[in-house]
Amino acid sequence: MARNKEGCMIILDVGKDTLVKSGKHDQTFFERAKNCVSKIVQRKIFSKPQDEVGLVLMGTDGTNNQLNVEYGGYHHISEAFELNPSNWQMLRVLEKQVNASKVNGDWFDALVVAMNFLKVGAQAKKFASLKIILVSALSVSSNLDVEQMDSVVKKLTEMPCELNVINDSVEHHADSDEQQDEDNLIFDALGIFSQKQQKTKEQRANEKMLSDIVFKSNGALCNIDSAELLLVHFEKKATRAAPWNSVLSIGTQIQISISAFLLITEEKGLGSFKTESTYPEATVQLKTDYFKNDQSFEPDYENVINGYMYGSTVVPYDSQIDIDYKSGEQRLSCLGFTVAGNILEEYLCGTGTHVVVARKDCAASEAKLAALVKAMIDLDVVMIVTKVYRRDTRPKINVLMPTFKKRYPCFIMLELCFQEEVALLKFPPLLSNKYKPTDAQYEAVDKLIDSMDLMDALDDDTGSREAFALHKTLNPIHQHMYRTVAHRALHPKAPIPAMDKELKNLVDVPPKVRERSKPILDEVKNLFPLKEIKVNARLKWLQRANKITANLDATAAGTSQQNPTDAEEELDDQRTIVEVGTVTPAEDFALLLKRGEKFATLCSQIQNVISDLVFKSMTVQYEKVAMAMMMYREEAKLMGPYRYNEWIAEFKKSLLARNKQEFWDQVVVRERFGLIGASESDMSTISADEVEEFYNVNTAPKTGDTGADADYVDADDLFANM
């Protein structure tokens, strides 16, 4: 870890002259400087937790530093935090206890103290680099001669340590086309102190001397506005690229030593949180409880096997059925070559993209791979390979696409799916003779696409640039999560803040695109008029049920007359159904009922399906459940309402107990799917008042002798009396 570990000492100016207004938001320089230091430490915590940070306060009312104890003369400078890994305690102290003082401090003395403090703290530790960040208004002159300045530069060079300065009078002229390192985005070596602002003689003298020290130590100057803009976003945690080393074998003669690096993968953000007690002496123990049908139970661990969830259905899986297959040693072996056009986009799968290069310091492999890449590009072919990541792991099929990355030959490796994983889905055509677009509509859509071009959607001082650039667009969810964690760490009892406007702008339509596409959108709106079609869901599914009945009757009578436009729907009606399913429960119920299945059996099936769709699905499909309930209720009116009334009473209790109030209001109450009363079925004894009372959530449903149980009629007795 020492190869990337950095030691950073921050000098924060808290003198009285920092209370002057700075910037456009009516803040003092002290407030802005304090915020910058806080953001730097937060970025270290999230992005580079191995780095160590220290803090020196300049311009304090008291004096607390080692050089003043030993030599004297370093007044109003305090060593606040020694070099340690960045932590939240430092941020809490910085926010609550660091305030502006009534005196000023000498920036040069603070620099010397920080150098000594950093040197002492870095002893017996391994750092890849050392850095000092000075955040000061530079309002107090320092009595500095050339010899002192050269001595400081020499010490900075010997450590070695670079000096970076954040000030509100630095001019930035960054080249927008220049690709800068992510770690150096905060500081720009081209920054210079502005000569346009009105400054005191002391400030100009400080800036001249400080500029010489900064540039001689290979440091940088940064404007506080730029620092705030860049520090507001958190960087992803830097990770060292770990190659997958293997041998690419082609036949029995060609062996190429390769290294595969992960190029693109899904961003994961913060890891899982640890559960800890607020009391140091207490221990935290995790306890797992098992519930079945909302009842606690103890499972039989000896008979427990793994399972997978397919929707709301549990599919058990026994590891004993695994094929005892040994894939052999780790390898990347060529199966053959094919034309690049044969690899369609839908054949690609996997969780990431790898770039394959010749192994480092292997000249023979570099020559072989370069020749192979060039030949494959000339022939326009790709290589199909078998990849075994580790000994005896399951082999995967990958494709190697030849290319050049920064003039270096390499392969892009992507995983291919197997035949069983390819699903051919048929969709209706987008265009038809009835809805064929006109030339004016085509032209309007072309204009709309041109107006929404993102390549010049943003305007700044350097001109137009691309919006949502791939390597520059941050994930607002992760950024908001980082800010939320930092806010909760600093303010444990404060409410979680809402997402900042600047984060919302990361995924919002650029204003330039919004303005230039507005008139064209109006034109598209006029050329593509939309008419609202109100469909009565109940009527639609009743017609559907009647249609299913008609089709079954026609099939039984041996008729073959068919409307061509309904061929596809009628074909679906003739599919093999053995029980009510969760895909089309209403249709399944009607079809099985017309085929002669027992009504009691179908009642149990559709009740279970409705419960699964409501309580086990991640997203409740309101229309599907409503149609199933409507179909069940309509048939219950004719076949006997007692089963439905008994079920809907229990269903209401479950809905309210599981906080499904929205489903109760939107489906059961609005569609009137409650108890079946005597006015709807001659076999029901429930009065109209009891039906209306059932829809009141504050009243328990009555299912006593005069309720649902009173509707029970033995089916055999009923048919015997007919």
Question: What string of DSSP letters covers 134-158?
Answer: EE----S-----HHHHHHHHHHHHH
Range from 204-213, 278-287, 491-500 that averages highest in pLDDT: 491-500
Q: Which amino acid is at 622?
A: Y
The string of pLDDT tens digits covering residues 329-386 is 899 999 999 999 999 998 999 888 999 999 998 999 999 999 999 999 999 999 999 9
User: Cα separation of 522 and 528, whole Å?
Assistant: 10
User: Cα separation of 556 and 550, whole Å?
Assistant: 10
Across the range 522-534, mean pLDDT stands at: 87
405-408 long-range contacts, Cβ below 8 Å, gap at least 24?
405/355, 408/357
User: Cα separation of 465 and 715, whole Å?
Assistant: 77
Phi and psi at 516, nearest 5°, equal: -80, -15
Angle between helix axes 585-594 and 622-639 (nearest 10 degrees) is 30
User: Cα separation of 205 and 212, whole Å?
Assistant: 11
Of 150-154, 412-416, 447-451, 514-518, least confident by mean pLDDT is 150-154
Q: Which amino acid is at 366?
A: E
Task: For residue 309, give both structure tokens.
Answer: 């969830």
User: Cα separation of 684 and 642, whole Å?
Assistant: 7
* Residue 238: per-residue pLDDT: 60
CATH 2.40.290.10-classified regions of the chain: 331-421
Q: Which fold has domain 439-527?
A: Ku70; Chain: A; domain 4 (1.10.1600)
Confidence of residue 489 (pLDDT cuts 50, 70, 90): confident
Residue 567 has pLDDT above 50, yes or no: no
- SS3 labels along 189-216: CCCEECCCCCCCHHHHHHHHHHHHHHHH
Q: How many CA atoms lie within 13 A of 456 on its CB side?
A: 5
Do strands 52-58 and 6-13 pair parallel, antiparallel, or not at all (unpaired)? Answer: parallel
H helical segments located in 470-536: 476-490, 501-504, 511-527
- Quickly count: other Cβ atoms within 10 Å of residue 208's Cβ: 10
Across the range 688-697, mean pLDDT stands at: 90
Across the range 228-240, mean pLDDT stands at: 70
Task: For residue 64, give both structure tokens.
Answer: 């607390």
SS3 132: strand
147-150 long-range contacts, Cβ below 8 Å, gap at least 24?
148/108, 149/209, 149/212, 149/213
* Residue 586: per-residue pLDDT: 86
* Residue 2: per-residue pLDDT: 54
Torsion angle of C-alpha atoms 287, 288, 293, 297, degrees rounded to 10? -80
CATH 1.10.1600.10-classified regions of the chain: 439-527
Question: What string of DSSP letters covers 69-121?
Answer: HHT----SEEEEEEEEE--HHHHHHHHHT----SS---HHHHHHHHHHHHHHH
* Residue 188: per-residue pLDDT: 43
Note if the bond before 402 is cis, omega within 30 degrees: no
Q: Supply the Cα-derived Rg of the chain in whole angstroms.
A: 37
Phi and psi at 358, nearest 5°, equal: -70, 145
* Residue 36: per-residue pLDDT: 92
Residue 548 has pLDDT above 60, yes or no: no
pLDDT, greater one: 525 or 550: 525
Cβ-based burial of 115 (10 A; exposed 0-12, middle 13-18, buried ≥19): buried
* Residue 397: per-residue pLDDT: 95
* Residue 196: per-residue pLDDT: 59
Do strands 244-250 and 254-265 pair parallel, antiparallel, or not at all (unpaired)? Answer: antiparallel
SS3 14: coil
CATH 3.40.50.410-classified regions of the chain: 6-231
Phi and psi at 291, nearest 5°, equal: -130, 140
Mean pLDDT across the chain? 82
Residue 132 has pLDDT above 80, yes or no: yes
Residue 183 has pLDDT above 60, yes or no: no
User: Cα separation of 224 and 24, whole Å?
Assistant: 12
Stated pTM of the model: 0.61
Evaluate whether 332 touches 248 at the Cβ level (below 8 Å): yes
Across the range 678-702, mean pLDDT stands at: 81
SS3 636: helix
CATH 1.25.40.240-classified regions of the chain: 585-694
User: Cα separation of 336 and 332, whole Å?
Assistant: 12
Evaluate whether 505 touches 482 at the Cβ level (below 8 Å): no
Residue 669 DSSP code: I
Residue 64 DSSP code: B
Which residues make Cβ contacts (< 8 Å) with residue 244, sequence separation at least 6?
Answer: 259, 260, 261, 354, 389
Residue 461 DSSP code: T
User: Cα separation of 13 and 139, whole Å?
Assistant: 10
* Residue 473: per-residue pLDDT: 79
Confidence of residue 555 (pLDDT cuts 50, 70, 90): low
Residue 710 has pLDDT above 50, yes or no: no
SS3 310: strand
Question: What string of DSSP letters covers 536-558?
Answer: -HHHHHHHHHHHHHHHHHHHHHT
% of the chain at pLDDT higher than 90? 35
Across the range 119-144, mean pLDDT stands at: 86
Evaluate whether 53 touches 84 at the Cβ level (below 8 Å): yes
The string of pLDDT tens digits covering residues 580-630 is 988 888 888 888 888 888 999 999 999 999 998 998 887 888 888 988 898
The string of pLDDT tens digits covering residues 464-474 is 888 888 777 77
* Residue 457: per-residue pLDDT: 87
* Residue 101: per-residue pLDDT: 92
* Residue 175: per-residue pLDDT: 47
The architecture (CATH level 2) of 6-231 comes to 3-Layer(aba) Sandwich (3.40)
Evaluate whether 381 touches 337 at the Cβ level (below 8 Å): yes
Across the range 411-424, mean pLDDT stands at: 90
SS3 432: coil
Do strands 381-388 and 396-405 pair parallel, antiparallel, or not at all (unpaired)? Answer: antiparallel
Query: How far, rounded to the nearest angstrom, does the alpha carbon of residue 205 sit from its chain's CA centroid?
Result: 50
The string of pLDDT tens digits covering residues 3-53 is 678 999 999 999 998 988 887 778 899 999 999 999 999 988 888 888 999
Q: Report the CATH superfamily, name and number, of domain 585-694.
A: Ku, C-terminal domain (1.25.40.240)
User: Cα separation of 306 and 315, whole Å?
Assistant: 9
SS3 707: coil
473 phi-psi bin (left φ>0, alpha ψ -120 to 50, beta other):
beta
Angle between helix axes 146-158 and 107-121 (nearest 10 degrees) is 20
Phi and psi at 498, nearest 5°, equal: -75, 165
Which residues make Cβ contacts (< 8 Å) with residue 668, sequence separation at least 6?
Answer: 629, 648, 652, 655, 674, 695
Task: For residue 275, give both structure tokens.
Answer: 């559960």
Q: Which fold has domain 331-421?
A: Ku70; Chain: A; Domain 2 (2.40.290)
